[in-house]
Each structure stands twice: as structure tokens, then as C-alpha cells.
Amino acid sequence: MPPAKIKPMSKTYSIKSGCKINLYLKILDKRRDGYHNLDSIFYPLSRPGDYIDVILVPGSGISLRACPKSLEKSSNILLNTYKLFAAATGFRPGLKVYLSKNIPVGAGLGGGSSNAASFLLFLNSLNRATALTREKLFELASELGADVPFFIYNRPARVTGKGEIVSPVHIGLHGLHLLVICPEVSIDTARAYQAHDQKTRDSRPPGDSVLTTGPLTDNRSPFERIILSNCFEKTVFAEYPGLGSIKTQMLQAGASGCVLSGSGSSLCAFFRERKYLSQACHTLDRQNVSFYYSRIN
């Protein structure tokens, strides 16, 4: 998948910011800096996606308007991205920024991280005289958040370290139907990690969830088996049993695999046959659960 698209219209720019899902996620240990070492497979998607509209104005500095309005706060990652880029380059253009948020917050889809990476790339494209190298952009992205470096790359990747080590992989999911399921539940990432750490201390380190399904196989993939697995599932499903119930329903409807994305609350269900996909969609519709459909080409 190519990087976020930037469409100039005079001095107005429209930036599309996608999301990611985790096909595999295992937390290895907690680092001294407070982050966690992880081993994960990230897969980028264009839907659901956010829109960032930017107007160049005289002077310097940035103003932000957002929908929903609750995102208009000083801690918004777009404002932090502007400040970090300005400190690194001295480039401080006058910008009016409008964020239209479609990626659910607290869903494990990396919406905020994607916004930051897309905006960072945009600022670098404006700063032609002293544009930063890709390596420097990765460095700044890592300062903004653990998932931000992946969105600079924005292709299927194995992500390790705290998220700053991004290695390209080929994942053969050709021809599969995908539902990104977004229940109206927002999960705080920090709390999810705390619950995972507590569970790890209280028992043996959690392995694959008992609800995690077996391999997805594609003859064109270099991986003989693609295991959908997320170590957050045990703790998240214990606190939010409705999410575990949705996963079970997807498997019963005929999904070839279903897995929690990130620390939740979204789930990703893969289908080989359209008839099973239709059954799953009807099941979700009856419960008024939002979802996004993609055909993986």
C-alpha cells in the first residue's frame, strides 16, 4: 500500500490517513523506558480512514479544528507532530488544520499514529529546502509513538522492539474477504498493557488465546501458515466479554479466522467464501455493530 495520499488544491491540501490491523501480536517484556518489547505483524488498510485538510495561511503556527470536537485539545498528536518537526527543522509554516475522524478511538487500529505519520510526511513534503531523510523521519516518528514508524513505511511488516523496528514481509491474503468490526467500546491502551502485565505476573505468560483460530493458508505466501494470534485477547475478553462473543459468532458464521487488533476493541474477521461473509454481516447488522468491508487483492 502506498503512503498516505496528499492532494493539493491551491493552498489547501487533503490528506487521507488509513489504519492498521495486527495479524499477530505478542508482548515479550516491559522495557525500562516504560514501553514494551513486542513481536507483531502489522497490515495497513485504507478503510476506515481519517481525513486531514490543511490550509496554508500567512505567518507561522498551527490551529486545529476536529470532528468530533473532543479531539481539539493541546495533547492532540497532530499538534505534537507540528511542534516536533518544527524543533527538528526550524520549519514553522502557518497552518489551519481540520481533522475528520472516522477511525474509532480506542479500537486498536492505530488511528492517532496514522494521523501523526501522514502529517509528518506532509510537513516534510512542504519543507523542500531542508527535507528530512527517511531515517530521520523514522526517528521523529518513534518519538511521537510506538506505532508511528510503521505508518511511515505503511506496508505489511513485522514490527519489533517497541515498534521502531519495521521489517517488510509478504503476507499472502490474496482473495480473502475482510471485515474490520468496530463495536462501540473504547479501550485505553495503557490500561490494557497494565492488565496484561498483571496477568503475566499472576500466572504463566499468556500464549495464544483459546479463541484464536488456526492458519490461513495461501500458496503464494512465503509463510506456510499465517497464525492469527493476539496475547491481549485473554485479558480484554475477560473484561469485555461482548468482544469475545462477537469473535465466536464470526467463527460460527464461517470465518476462516478472527482476531483482536492491537489492544482492542476492533476485531478482524477473514472469509474465503462470500456466503459466509453475508451471514456474518447479517449477524452484525442485527446487533447494530459497525464494520468495514475490504476485498484483499
Active-site residues: which are they? 20, 147
90 known member of a binding site: no
105 known member of a binding site: yes
- Sign, CA torsion 168/169/170/173: negative
104 known member of a binding site: yes
Amino acid at position 129, single letter: A
172 known member of a binding site: no
Contact yes or no for 65/98 (Cβ under 8 A): yes
106 known member of a binding site: yes
**Distances, alpha carbon 97 to alpha carbons 43, 52, 93, in Å:** 27, 7, 12
Backbone angles phi, psi at 33, to 5 degrees: -85, 5
Burial class (CB in 10 A: 0-12, 13-18, 19+), 20: buried
Q: Are strands 267-271 and 94-100 parallel, antiparallel or unpaired?
A: unpaired
245 known member of a binding site: no
216 known member of a binding site: no
88 known member of a binding site: no
- Sign, CA torsion 283/288/291/295: positive
DSSP classification of residue 254: T
Q: Are strands 267-271 and 177-182 parallel, antiparallel or unpaired?
A: antiparallel
214 known member of a binding site: no
Q: How far apart are CA 182 and CA 249, in angstroms?
A: 14
185 known member of a binding site: no
58: preceding bond cis by omega (within 30 degrees): no
114 known member of a binding site: yes
Binding-site annotation, residues for ATP? 104-114
Binding-site annotation, residues? 104-114
